[in-house]
Structure 1
Amino acid sequence: MFYRKEATLFAFIGVISLAILVYGYQSSANLGAITVHVPYANTAVFWNNEEVRLTTATDQEVVVGRVAPGEQSVLVYKEGYYPWEKTLYMREGEKADIFPFLVRENPGQHEVDPAIFANVIPPNGKKVSASGAIAVDNANGKIYAIRLTDDKSTLFCGYEHETETCYETVVVLDIQQTINNVDFYPDRDDVILFSTKDGLYAIEIDGRGTRNFQPIYEGSTDGFLVDKRTSSIYVKNGQSSFQVLP
């Protein structure tokens, strides 16, 4: 009788252990990961209000693992720069990539020869990114991002009721005021520069959560240009021109 009870007990423990093992495996399979592509060193990455990493190099990837389905918040902060924050709604087992852009709170600037504009503001029209994958255009106070390839980027594709939906054109901004001109942020396909009479600004195309929007130059602005060769940004203000160092 004793041996029978002992065998029954061992069998029960075995069943429980197997159930825990299977449940743990299934639970892990439901967890995802977020990879944060951080452009600068000495930048803190927070996940759901807890710091997970301080970067030590430029262009560093910070991986947040074991991410449960549901709403997740990532904050990226570097001293002297505007904070960048993104809220994601993660599906089971999803692996997401996010690409923060950081702008100085007090960007440097210095005056340059106005001849750099050749007395003409770049035409206000469609611009194509360096990769050729995305175009940006504006009309009637709206800024549009246009997909030029079949790549299912999260900039244009997302899930609605568990069904993936992709769009050819995304409205990035609707401010219902005159936009002088638009272009891409230097060395980025996913961040747009635009100017109004009040300044020069950067906004990301990624519409997951709230789009991050940062000022580059605040003041009267007639337009701007981006020198792709040097990744420089120039702003025209009346008879004066400035190089801005965001």
Structure 2
Amino acid sequence: MKNLPVECDDEYWIHEDPQLAFKQPPGKPSTVAYFNCSIRLNQILAFALRTIYSINKSKVLLGFVGQQWEQHIVAELDSALNKWIDSVPDHLRWDPNKEDGVFFNQSASLYATYYHLQGLVHRPFIPSPHKPSPLSFPSLAICTNAARSCIHVLDVQYRRCDDPIYTNQFQQFSHVALFASGIALLLSIWGGQHSGVSIVPAREMADVHKAMKMLKALERRWHTAGKMW
């Protein structure tokens, strides 16, 4: 994407040496990198919503019909997500033990969004006994792994925050990602029993309970989180 903000923190915009103005010091990561990563990830989300989640009439008008089209779009979205995760700068790569609090929370937000979006792309293609998936992708397994990873990232962030409700550290989108991830794990327990996929119900339910615990905590600020609990 062109015209993204320059990755230079506010305090380095002005410098007594004009040659150094608007230049981030070498070896000092910029907090703006998170914003740019988030913008690129939301571009992928927008494309998914315009294609996979558009209403049937719009799909017909735009020529988005047929099994081959769905296979192509999902493959394209998967490729975009893979390129995005490879482009994340080192200081924002997920590390549950990251010491810098700002970069830790930025990383948690990005990775939770990434896993949530990965599940969003494959969720419509989870097979059922009466509706097999038209795609060759293992959508159930992908959604299950993405949901589990999303909950694990947010659980680490939740446990590291002194008060995740009254700070900006626990992002407001979290309750949507937590709810979707919890539902995906419940579906995997049910779907795995019918599809032959190897599922450990006790492990999946432990993660569902983690998601429910965080939703309950978030209810203090976001009423919708309580509705999702």
Return the TM-score normalized by structure 1: 0.25
When you count helix as a share of all residues, which structure comes out higher?
2
When you count strand as a share of all residues, which structure comes out higher?
1
Greater radius of gyration (CA): 1
